[in-house]
């Protein structure tokens, strides 16, 4: 059995109850695009990749999963730390915002969408931590420096603004901002998009290590199959808003069954 398959099996054995259960999720736009009747589970400690060409519905799916875009049909059931469950679109918007600030994290493709660019790196990290009730400046400052170090940014830059950081550093800062509250579930939208190859490699290595150390569940949207292979345990393949294939990452990338997956893997389609 290959490494990814072994990792996935270990995670499933360790967590028999899904962290997130998605059933019949449907969201249509006026132009006819969107997603249609999508269903799957994700487990604690698992990285689930969502792949497909532009317009396949993967970004719409991520927005629905992360509480940003309400679907027209279907349910998204989240299992909390106490094992109770909640349908995230059957609760108040305030409750969803609390989940987004504590249990969940969202890493945007463009760091400027996930950071406050006009305040310091430390303030970006500390702001999210304050949402959990921590108010002591010393504690916030120390946590910010510690998390900068975790994502390989010199802690002496805690008072520098993100505008003075490189693109790769901004993305690592966005990751630190999300991880400071120790979320159980992370949503990542093209986290390496727009970065050059060497910076991508460093960021991917960092992500892989952090996910393993923290036991995070991650939903990863990417058009890059090399990124999907490196980070994901399982893959969902989207086409025209439908889920056409799902399975262990190596199984799909090495032996795709659906004709569209075969085209995607053979790079006949342009992502």
Judged against a pLDDT cut of 70, whether residue 168 lies above it is answered with yes
What mean pLDDT, rounded, does the chain reach? 88
Residue 32 pLDDT class (50, 70, 90 cuts): confident
- Residue of 221, 206, 197 whose CA lies nearest to 171: 206
The per-residue pLDDT for 15 is 55
Q: In what order do the strands lie in the sheet with 217-221?
A: 104-107, 185-189, 217-221, 47-51, 234-239, 242-248
Q: Label each residue of 190-224 as H, E or C.
A: CCCCCCCHHHHHHHHHHHHHHHHHHCCEEEEECCC
Alpha-helix runs per DSSP H in the chain: 3-14, 58-65, 93-101, 121-130, 137-150, 167-179, 197-214, 225-231, 249-254, 259-265
The three-class DSSP label of residue 40 is: strand
Mean pLDDT of all residues in 74-85? 94
Mean pLDDT of all residues in 178-194? 90
The per-residue pLDDT for 8 is 47
- Residue of 130, 164, 166, 123 whose CA lies nearest to 144: 123
Residue 165 pLDDT class (50, 70, 90 cuts): very high
Q: Which domains are present in the chain?
A: 3-103+183-265 (3.40.50.300), 117-182 (no CATH)
The per-residue pLDDT for 58 is 94
The per-residue pLDDT for 11 is 43
Among the residue ranges 4-13, 22-31, 141-150, 187-196, the one predicted with the least confidence is 4-13
Judged against a pLDDT cut of 60, whether residue 6 lies above it is answered with no
The per-residue pLDDT for 130 is 85
The per-residue pLDDT for 189 is 93
pTM, full prediction: 0.88
Token pair of 250 as six digits: 């190596």
Q: Which tens digits make up the pLDDT trace of 210-258?
A: 888 888 999 999 988 989 998 999 999 999 999 999 999 999 999 999 9
Mean pLDDT of all residues in 89-100? 91
Residue 193 pLDDT class (50, 70, 90 cuts): confident
> In angstroms, rounded to a whole number, what is the distance separating the alpha carbons of residues 78 and 18?
8
Q: What single-letter DSSP state applies at residue 111?
A: G
Residue 9 pLDDT class (50, 70, 90 cuts): very low
């Amino acid at each position: 059995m290959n490494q990814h398959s072994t990792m996935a099996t270990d995670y499933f054995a360790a967590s028999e109850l899904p962290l997130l259960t998605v059933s019949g999720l449907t969201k249509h736009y006026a132009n006819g695009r969107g997603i249609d009747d999508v269903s799957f589970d994700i487990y604690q400690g698992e990285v689930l990749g969502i792949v497909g060409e532009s317009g396949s519905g993967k970004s719409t799916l991520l927005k629905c999963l992360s509480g940003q875009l309400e679907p027209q049909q279907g349910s998204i059931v989240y299992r909390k730390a106490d094992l109770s469950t909640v349908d995230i679109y059957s609760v108040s918007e305030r409750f969803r915002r609390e989940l987004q600030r504590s249990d969940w994290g969202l890493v945007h493709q463009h760091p400027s969408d996930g950071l406050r660019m006009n305040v310091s790196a430390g303030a970006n990290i500390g702001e999210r931590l304050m949402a959990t009730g921590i108010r002591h400046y010393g504690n916030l400052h120390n946590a910010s420096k510690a998390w900068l170090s975790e994502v390989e940014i010199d802690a002496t830059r805690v008072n520098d603004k993100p505008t003075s950081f490189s693109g790769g550093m901004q993305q690592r800062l966005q990751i630190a901002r999300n991880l400071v509250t120790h979320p159980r579930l992370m949503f990542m939208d093209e986290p390496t998009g727009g970065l050059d190859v060497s910076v991508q490699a460093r960021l991917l290595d960092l992500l892989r290590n952090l996910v393993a150390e923290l036991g995070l569940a991650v939903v990863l949207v990417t058009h890059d199959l090399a990124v999907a292979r490196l980070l994901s345990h399982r893959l969902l393949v989207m086409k025209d808003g439908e889920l056409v294939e799902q399975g262990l990452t190596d199984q799909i990338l090495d032996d795709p069954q659906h004709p569209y997956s075969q085209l995607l893997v053979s790079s006949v389609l342009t992502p």
